[in-house]
Amino acid sequence: MNALRRFLTSSLGQKTLMALTGLGLVGFLVAHLAGNLTLFQGAEALNEYEHKLESFGPLLYVAEAGLGLLFVVHIGLALRVTARNREARGVGYRQRTHMGESTVASRSMLISGLVLLLFLLVHLIDFRVPKAMGSDSVEDMGVAVIDRLTSPIGFLIYMVGLTAMGLHLRHAFASAFQTLGVSHPRYSLWLRNAGFGLAVVLFVGFASIPIYLMFQS
Amino acid sequence: MGSSSTETKMMRLNVEIWRQAGPSDGGGFESYKVEASPDMSFLEMLDVLNEKLMADGREGIAFDHDCREGICGMCSLVINGQPHGPENETTTCQLHMRNYKDGDSITIEPFRATAFPIVKDLVIDRSAFDRILQAGGYISVNTGAAPDAHAVQVPKVQADLAMDAAACIGCGACVAACPNAAAMLFTAAKVSQLALLPQGQAERSSRAIAMVDQMDKEGFGACTNHYECMAACPKGITVENIARMNRDHLRASFTSRD
């Protein structure tokens, strides 16, 4: 127990947890996209998918709680580690020239993460909270989602959220593997490219849905 | 004709240097003009400036230096935003003024990290690195006559990787370059140079845990994998070492019997 506590309070232990929860959330995004893609077959297909999920009954709540835990641990540790990193620099430089592989994506992880968090809250208030309160407005989830995605403001918020997601993943995926100690000259570059590819695929995948819906209507 | 081609053309430079009287002083930038030859090293340019300042009855600029051969790890400085200046895998003492031209402006700052408090001007206290080494950067052996050179065989690949890690001179440029002032590259190099050799195996677990623990205690930041450290390192230490330390730390945390 003592060893576990020491690991979880160490900077490396906290980063390991961030990497694991982050990769877990990537898995969730892939599953979420798979669900959303049913919209290509219309609102009814999404409703069917939703009913299927609901048929899991209490198990669905367990899964949701697990997902919530991933978010809480990932975000909580991110804030903690960032605060510690700011403190470690102290007085900043007047001039700084980047020479390494730091990118806009890698330097804006906190910002893209916070934008994603805001998007997540809006998203939950839109769909999950009314549903939990038994509101009638979301009885037909498929139609509600299509309405939201094809309204100008809804579309804009969605695209901002997706951009933050793409930017975040661009750095996050390969970074998580490096933190977990997965690194080798033979495949490190491949992992970085895979992270970029994953960001593009998820961005295009999610963005294609409202664009398709708008062309259709 | 021959004399004109070998004649040294002096250049005039505007340098802005961080001056700070002591650890508790606020500090600030001061501007100076200095004439330097392209053949001078960067530190010789500062020597010339200091001689001029002292001749004028002013206090010289304090900066760290020792061997001036690029191997001791004493020199530092963030030059125009880059630790050890613009040359790849080069320490400040080995940086030459031929990289600059007449009329250039150069900003010189100390390495910045809470764990490297400023002693005076550009001199910083890097004893945090010493304490990380004292925590586990060693192997326990009896002193005495040197052992036979080839008593313990080490395969070439392992020996090369260990030597690459052992090239670290502990200058702290990795900390200076890291957006989070993390000491991961330094600590990883010191963990790796022993983890890769047979002599380092017995204490491999306790070493990884103790050195990471000390690194955290000193107040260094955490790695966010920008790899700025690797670009700034005058000895070309790679971030592969960081991944190796992460593996060692993870394994030690869950399997160590110490």
The DSSP code sequence of B117-163 is: -EEETTEE--HHHHHHHHHH-S-----SSPPPTTSS---HHHHHHHH
Residues A45/A141, Cβ–Cβ less than 8 Å:
no
Count: domains in chain A: 1
Structural domain containing residue A171: 16-91+105-216
What mean pLDDT do residues B152-175 have?
97
Co-location of B49 and B91 in the same domain: yes
Dihedral sign, CA of B131, B135, B138, B144? positive
Q: Please work out, in degrees rounded to the nearest 5, the angle formed at the alpha carbon of residue B196 by the alpha carbons of A6 and A13.
A: 20
**CATH code of the domain in which A190 resides:** 1.20.1300.10
Domain shared by B26 and B133, yes or no = no
- Write down the pLDDT at residue A139: 67
What angle, rounded to 10 degrees, do the helices at A109-123 and A152-179 form?
130
B41 & B16 share domain: yes
For residue A20, the chain B residues in CB contact (below 8 A) are: none
Both B130 and B88 in one domain: the answer is no
Q: What is the mean pLDDT of residues B225-253?
A: 97
CA A198 vs CA A29, A167, A181, A193, B111: distances in Å: 11, 11, 20, 9, 37
Q: Which domain does B21 fall in, by range? A: 9-119
Examine residue B148 and state whether it is found in any structural domain, yes or no.
no
Is residue B204 assigned to a domain?
A: yes
Residue range A8-19: average pLDDT? 97
Q: How far is A74 from chain B (nearest CA, A)?
A: 14
Q: Do B59 and B87 belong to one domain?
A: yes
Coil, strand or helix: which one is B96? Answer: strand
Reported ipTM: 0.93
Beta bridge partners of B94: none
Residues of A in contact with B80 (CB under 8 A): 95, 97
Q: Give which of A5, A8, A11, A20 to mutate to test B binding, by max B Cβ within 10 Å.
A: A11
* Domain co-membership, B100 together with B134: no
Note whether residue A11 is domain-resident: no
For the entire predicted model, the pTM comes to 0.94
Q: What angle do CA A20, A22, A24 make, to 5 degrees?
A: 70
Q: How many domains does chain B have?
A: 2
- Write out pLDDT tens, residues A116-161: 999 999 999 988 877 777 766 556 888 889 988 999 999 999 999 9
CATH of the domain at B113: 3.10.20.30
Map residue B112 onto helix, strand or coil. coil
Contact B181 A90 (CB under 8 A): yes
Which strands form B28-36's sheet, in the order they lie side by side? B28-36, B11-19, B105-109, B78-79, B82-83
User: What mean pLDDT, rounded, does chain B reach?
Assistant: 95
A192: left (phi over 0), alpha (psi -120 to 50) or beta: alpha
Residue B104 lies in a domain: yes
B239 min Cα distance to partner chain A (Å): 9
Q: Answer yes or no: is B144 within a domain.
A: no
| pLDDT tens sequence across B78-123 | 999 999 999 999 999 999 999 999 999 999 999 999 999 999 999 9
